[in-house]
Amino acid sequence: MSLRIGRWISIAVVVVIVMAAAAYPIINWSRQPLDDAAREELLRTGKAHAFVATSLGIMHLRDSGPSDRPVVLLVHGGVVGGYAFENWRQPLTDAGYRVIVPDLLGYGYSDRPKVSYTKEFYVTQLNDLLDRLGIAIPVNIIGASQGGGIVAAFAAVHPDRVRSVGLMAPNGGGPVHVMSKALELPIIGDWVFSVFGPMVMQNMMARAYENNPARDGMLAWMKEQSRYRGYGEGVLNSIRNTLSNNALTWQPNAFEAIGRSGAPVLAVWGTNDTTVPFSQSKELRSRMPQLKLAQLEGQGHAITFGQAQTALNMVIPFLDDANKSH
């Protein structure tokens, strides 16, 4: 009897393993490739704005405002893509700025290259993007969450390309907890993020924007970018190579370099942020004497999209002051 039960258990385990192994190719097949044909269709339907080829892959970007105005480059964080700044583009354009919002590689309508998504990977693609767009003047660069860590790294490496720095609840001032260590493991994490990652991240955004009027637009976008292959894998790639190893979450040298540069710096932060704790702002202030810190009392982490107008009320005067002599 025990041998028969053991045999059925073994068969059940094999069946589960086979089904799990089959899930990825089936689900991946159901998602669309993000190729030239897909890009042409996205442009034709007006969903995409423009594509630019960089040394690391083709990037999708939203480019608004006159080309002769001061440039604001908006760098999103993990999960969402450039849509995180959707409610910023028109107000900043109306304020007299050229506004550039890319989908970083791995997100939105941009390529999902099969390379390690390291800090250097992000810095290089931003530098390439400015080169491809022919932007030689220093830019006002603003980053949110993980994008704030990317902006800090970029500004430290390319101070000549930066006029001012904006940081929205940024990484860089200390470790953050992103996910279970088990999901960082090879095979396990790859399978989970490939099969379930898009759905899990959609649910995460649904909770983050609960009772927020911006919720429906955010969820529609999350579903849209999840239609294409490689999205979940890209998020995991980025977590492994920038957050879990603290490459973007602990950057004292970058902040000190920005402090020495004298570039104007604004940080906007929710005091109830549990993703990137507000207490980490002390680390930034100690290394960038010129930092202006704007506190959003009682707000959490999802301020870039969910509290766009409140944030812009602080950001636009900062930009005007930083660019008044230019």
Calculate the CA dihedral of residues 284, 209, 190, 82 and round it to 10 degrees.
Answer: -70
Q: How many domains does the chain have?
A: 1
Q: What is the CATH number of the domain that holds 260?
A: 3.40.50.1820
Name, in order, each residue with C-beta under 8 angstroms of 216's C-beta and a sequence gap of 6 or more: none
CA 67 vs. chain centroid, Å, equals 25
Residue 27 lies in a domain: no
Q: Apex CA 32: angle with CA 31 and CA 35, to 5°? A: 150
H or E stretch at 51: strand 50-53
pTM value > 0.75: yes
What does the alpha-carbon distance between residue 200 and residue 83 come to, in Å, rounded to a whole number?
Answer: 18
Residue 186's domain comprises 36-323
Given a contact cutoff of 8 angstroms between Cβ atoms, the answer to whether 198 and 106 are in contact is no
Residue 10 lies in a domain: no
What does the alpha-carbon distance between residue 246 and residue 250 come to, in Å, rounded to a whole number?
Answer: 5
Lookup result for tokens 């040394």 = 55
Residue 177 lies in a domain: yes
Residue 101 lies in a domain: yes
What angle separates helix 188-195 from helix 231-238, to the nearest 10 degrees? Answer: 140
Give one word for 194, left, alpha or beta, with left for phi > 0 and alpha for psi -120 to 50: alpha
pLDDT in tens, the chain (326 residues): 443 433 443 333 333 333 444 455 656 657 899 999 999 999 999 999 999 999 999 999 999 999 999 999 999 999 999 999 999 999 999 999 999 999 999 999 999 999 999 999 999 999 999 999 999 999 999 999 999 999 999 999 999 999 999 999 999 999 998 878 777 788 888 988 998 889 989 998 998 888 888 899 999 999 999 999 999 999 999 999 999 999 999 999 999 999 999 999 999 999 999 999 999 999 999 999 999 999 999 999 999 999 999 999 999 999 999 999 66
